[in-house]
Amino acid sequence: MNKLIVISGLTASGKTALSVQLAQKYRGEIVSADSRQVYQGLDIGTAKITPTERNGVPHHLLDIVDPAANTRYSVGDFQRDAYPIIDAIIARGHTPFLVGGTGLYSRAIINGYGFGDQPNTPRYQVLQICLTPPNSVLAPLVQQRNEQRVKAGMFTETRNLLARGVSREFLYNLGLEYRLNVQYLAGEIDLATYYTNLYTQTRQFIKRQRTWYRRENPAITHYLTDPATYYDAAVKLIDAFLAE
């Protein structure tokens, strides 16, 4: 069975940077498993990796849907699109990395959920590395990231999306940043309330993620909690996995 490495974990835990480092080492290509980064123009609010940050590593399933269509991209859509990309990466002799924090997307590939005409069976042998640092580590990172995104132009990004025909309802239903962005731009909340709500709701979202990831398959999932040792620990796990 072909092998797939999954890098999952909590918001702001460091998945993006780690995955690029690992992909560089293992001649890898990255398939995004993020339910919001599939949309064009949703860059700052989703913390989408920039071309410079990719460091030459190919990335897939970013910017593939026009949000102005105001149509949600489903987990079934993701699975349909991800399978041939992963298979093509393997056919090129490269290592596929499935990376992102949308747990249902990752599980759809790991467990081989039977959407549409797909068989309900796993296609790949999987190693899942799950980043779950403690709240003492994540809390300041969340606060810092929220402030950086606003300074980087997240409100302007949201205005531009609305001007392109993306509906307020569509953005609102994306949750977190975009829900609060449209409320702030409409004058429904002030900036202080915006920051307070964004921090609180992100922490609540991370709590739900912890619950989700605690239920992952223990036979394939390895939890890393210390950002300082992510890379070395991941290399040991991947070396052993690829040598099997």
Q: Residues 109-120: pLDDT tens digits?
A: 999 999 888 889
Whether residue 229 has pLDDT greater than 90: yes
Give the range among 55-64, 82-91, 113-122, 143-152 with minimum mean pLDDT.
113-122
Residue 58's nearest CA partner among 92, 81, 104 is 92
What is residue 118's predicted lDDT score, i.e. its pLDDT? 80
Residue 49's nearest CA partner among 73, 80, 95, 18 is 18
pTM here is 0.96
What is residue 116's predicted lDDT score, i.e. its pLDDT? 80
Whose tokens are 């509906």? That residue is: 167
Packing angle of the helix pair 75-91, 103-110 (nearest 10 deg): 60
Mean pLDDT of 57-70: 97
Determine phi and psi for 93, rounding to 5 degrees.
Answer: 80, 15
C-alpha dihedral sign at 153, 159, 165, 168: positive
Give the range among 10-14, 114-118, 140-144 with minimum mean pLDDT.
114-118
Mean pLDDT of 194-206: 95
Whether residue 157 has pLDDT greater than 90: yes
* Alpha-carbon span 121 to 24, nearest angstrom: 30
What is residue 169's predicted lDDT score, i.e. its pLDDT? 96
